[in-house]
A and B are shown apart, each in its own frame.
Chain A
């Protein structure tokens, strides 16, 4: 399966400078992920470093319980989202596949990546036009969301399965092999926590580059994730 992303100028002119790229499920997934990642990051932080103690009887309070519930619920939504998104890669349009495939054997893709890096180092006057992700964005997206998200789900559900215990699907599917693979539970916690920071860093870069490209590149970015249309300009 190849991923063709570069602009076919002739086709574009015929279509009138605007291409429908992100179908509704992809856009919905994106914004659901935004909510999930915000919820997961904040609740995750407070699971590792809990808030100051609440007063009163333990039986009258459930703060840590609610924080953990929010984390687990958002984790489930994120998991279902990624599975549906994977399904959509098969049934959706051509661009829906891009997130799951890195065209590492394509020399044009690498050339595009270097041009993009030069563009970010202010060494290029103009970036290339891309209908889907540009190669650099594609690379980051693949490592942060496809791989990073999968890693967080696997380790996350492995930790969840420890509490759910044997007999629960998450214990059977993840805990039973992830914990022995890492050696012990504490390591899984540490790496889950560490990669979470990786995703936070990705979010910072993603938001910045999306806004920057929207202003400075030759194509729309933010509105493309709202109405799904990529519009090009000179």
Chain B
């Protein structure tokens, strides 16, 4: 049996051609493409067989899946049932046990080098990977095996992209991001804890539609969603530039919706699309709900000090300390040392003068 095209699947599900074309236009818009690209999307969906996707779960909390199934544009059900051929996802699929595991083997054989591997979570490497068991084997083995036949890999979320909480110091299981285990395949990182639903579906749609991976930045993230910081498009930015800040969670400034910079908002250091795409179908995002960004799509965000501090801790100094504490102390010591040194110098000089004048006599 040859794989159906997207269009065939959609028509089979009773979607009219008119609705299909509307969907193509919407997809073009959500990908930030020109309206003239809509026909190209339609053409691709009419002619291309659906690319199979294997979705593996490593050490994770399933928040990526939870986010994914809440995608509004396009709806997750459209993505799962119509657009991609999500052939394996142990959380979403009906099959279980050996029946499910056989699917991986089958796809690897049938679509060798031609399927997308989506990874949620990461493999722990300590104790030969025994901290995460998938179908009776260490997850790291399943990951390596499956990745060997994949066309490209999508690293869902902070876990697969950076390591996230399970990799936070001291990282007892040695949870390791996917790109440090698989080094010979193109990897698209879609960080966030979880990533925005629409960003997830859009990345998948882009790859299926254009048959190539989206343009990535140096850290492997799609530029179209991770090219700007939250801060660059934050609707509270005018309050930042004006110098209007929330000082306490219940102060007048908080009620007026001033900037959360002083409350430790990580918007200025976080690359993500939250302030443009927002969450839950565009309803809101953390800053709009009155809480600062915690920087969940940035590398090692668990180890960067308090979520509520602007100048965060420097871990290199052992004890938790921030730049101001260390710098201020050192500057204070230097100042005191200078005063003390000057005093002793003056005394020495006075004594020398005394000696000289005595010697002169």
Partner-B contacts on A (CB < 8 A)? 48-54, 57-65, 67, 120, 122, 125, 162-163, 165-166, 176-177, 179-180, 183-187, 189-190, 193-194, 196-198, 200-201, 204-205, 208, 212, 215-216
Contacts and interface: CB of A to CB of B under 8 A. Distances in A.
A186 B344 contact: no
B312 interface: yes
Nearest to B300: A183
Interface of B: 218-219, 223, 227-229, 231-232, 238-245, 247, 253, 258, 261-262, 266, 268-271, 295, 298-301, 304, 310-312, 314, 322-324, 326-328, 330-331, 334-335, 338, 341-342, 344-345, 348-349, 352
A58 B344 contact: no
Contacts of B312: 186, 190
B263 to A, nearest CB: 11
Given A166-B227, A180-B219, A198-B327, 4 more contacts: A58-B239, A122-B345, A179-B219, A201-B331
B338 A58 contact: no
Contact of B334 (A120, A184, A187, A201): A201
Contact of A187 (B231, B258, B304): B304
Contacts of A176: 218
Contact of A64 (B242, B298, B311, B326): B242
Given A186-B295, A193-B311, A208 B232 contact: no
Q: Determine chain B's interface SS by DSSP, over half rule.
A: helix
A48 B325 CA distance: 13
B331 A58 contact: no
Contact of B323 (A50, A64, A194): A194
A234 B239 CA distance: 61
13 contacts: A53-B253, A58-B241, A61-B244, A63-B242, A166-B223, A183-B300, A184-B298, A186-B312, A189-B311, A197-B331, A198-B330, A205-B334, A215-B349
Contacts of B270: 185
Nearest to B347: A122
B228 A53 contact: no
A109 to B, nearest CB: 24
A193 to B, nearest CB: 4
Contacts of A215: 349
Contacts of A59: 238, 242
Given A50-B262, A180-B218, A186-B266, A64 B240 contact: yes
Contact of A50 (B261, B298, B300, B314): B261
Contacts of A120: 341
Q: Which of B238, B269, B322, B331 has the most CB of A within 10 A?
A: B269
A190 B271 CA distance: 17
B323 A190 contact: yes
Given A184-B269, A190-B312, A54 B243 contact: yes
B331 A190 contact: no
Nearest to A181: B218
A200 B327 contact: yes
A183 B301 CA distance: 10
A52 to B, nearest CB: 8
Nearest to A207: B338
Contacts of B328: 197
Contact of A58 (B227, B238, B311, B330): B238
Contacts of A60: 242
B350 to A, nearest CB: 11
Closest 6 CB pairs of A and B: A197-B327, A63-B243, A185-B269, A61-B242, A193-B323, A58-B238
B244 A54 contact: yes
A176 B216 CA distance: 12
